Amino acid sequence: MLRFVYTCLLMLAAPFLLASLYKKRPGVPPIGKRWQEHFGISPKVNGHQPLWIHAVSVGETLAVTPLIKALKERYPDLPILLTTTTATGAEQAAKLSDWVEHRYMPLDFPFALRAFIRTQQPRALCIMETELWPNTLAAAKRAGLPVTVLNARLSERSCQRYAKVQPLFNLLAKHLDQVLCQHQDDANRFNQLGVPDSVVQVTGSIKFDLSLPDGLEQASEILRDELGKQRPVWIAASTHSGEDEQVLDAHRQVLSQHPDALLILVPRHPERFDAVEALCMQRGFTTARRTHTQEVLSEPSVYLADTMGEMMLLLGACDVAFVGGSLIGDKVGGHNLLEPAALAKPVLSGPSYFNFTDITTQLLQAGGANIVENSEQLAEAVTRLLSDPQAQSDMGQAAFKVVKNNQGAIQRTLDALAATLTFPQP
């Protein structure tokens, strides 16, 4: 009965969801003729009984990429079906075409999911992080598919919200065969909500097992040469509306001490690229967009990174990294600090990082990250680090050590999957 009510509500919300998915936005690829896939009408993938992995968007797709490559190395004959919900996720998935076939995830309607599963005949469903939908889980179990949550995380805030709708969470949890958690805190929260110990285990965050792309170091050096080898460069990554203003205020203060400093500004959402450029110009900063110029910037300015999937490249070209989503109260809860840490960059974050509490806490305790409360503290921290290369190096190496000490999650995840699923042997 509860799922029936949920489905009715979803049908009422569907037009708005679809309008959001299909709305044309600058920098976002169109879904185009593939819209039917959201209703379960999709071409069958090559191969028998693919492993179905769902990664909702770009971040999840990037995170699961090392696991996909490890699966294909261990089971070269295993077909993998990767679904995403968003077009930007699909664009990222297209880069994995040597290892997976991509389809759009059906909307959470029973008829769409039945059609999708009937066509694809997957052997199991693996969901990245905590993208849990009632009808998806029910349809998978009805089809006899084992369901595993990979890299599962559950913040204290999400746990409290689920607790308020415990019957709905119970509806989700009863269909889960494995919940492979990033950290013990996550496992404790799943247990607190009634998921049994037999289902939950801690395998670690596969995001720690970052696989740096071949040639990344050389490409980052080339970009740094273009931006100015000798000038100080800092990056504000994954910023949100209301945060760009604070970052630009901080940059103005940084320029008072480092007149040739360059800020690489990376808005989180591509539809904001034009608005952020206008903001930079309005604030009086000479601004260059990555897609519009490759010229060396010879004066203090902002380099607007208006591309997708290049974060590691951009981080590799900077001296200090600030990670956004963390200076605008509790609206977002921060973003992952691991990418700059994996490149041995000193990391700064705002005070709101509840989505990545464990990772951020480890970096703080190790001296690889600092918290800044506002634009003034951000400017002070950036200025101090740009003035002290040894402090940069010490802090960056401390961050890198945290990453190295936590690696191994992919192997533990592979072992957990092998213990419960049947894979084709090479």
Catalytic residues: 60
Helix, strand, coil share (%) of the chain residues, nearest 5: 50, 15, 35
User: For residue 142, which amino acid is it?
Assistant: R
Amino acid letter, 215: G
Provide the 10 A C-beta neighbour count for residue 238: 22
Tokens 């009984």 locate to 49
Note the helical H segments in 193-319: 216-227, 244-257, 273-282, 311-316
User: Going by C-beta distance under 8 Å and a sequence separation of 6 or more, which residues neighbour residue 284?
Assistant: none
Token pair, residue 289, equals 């967009």
For residues 192 and 159, the answer to whether their CB atoms sit within 8 Å is yes
- d(CA 346, CA 403) in angstroms, rounded, equals 13
Query: Which tokens in the block code for residue 109?
Result: 């309607």
Q: How far apart are CA 67 and CA 416, in angstroms?
A: 13
Distance (Å) of CA 333 to CA 14, 206, 324, 425: 27, 20, 9, 42
For residue 221 the two structure tokens come to: 């050096």
Token pair recorded at residue 227: 């931006």
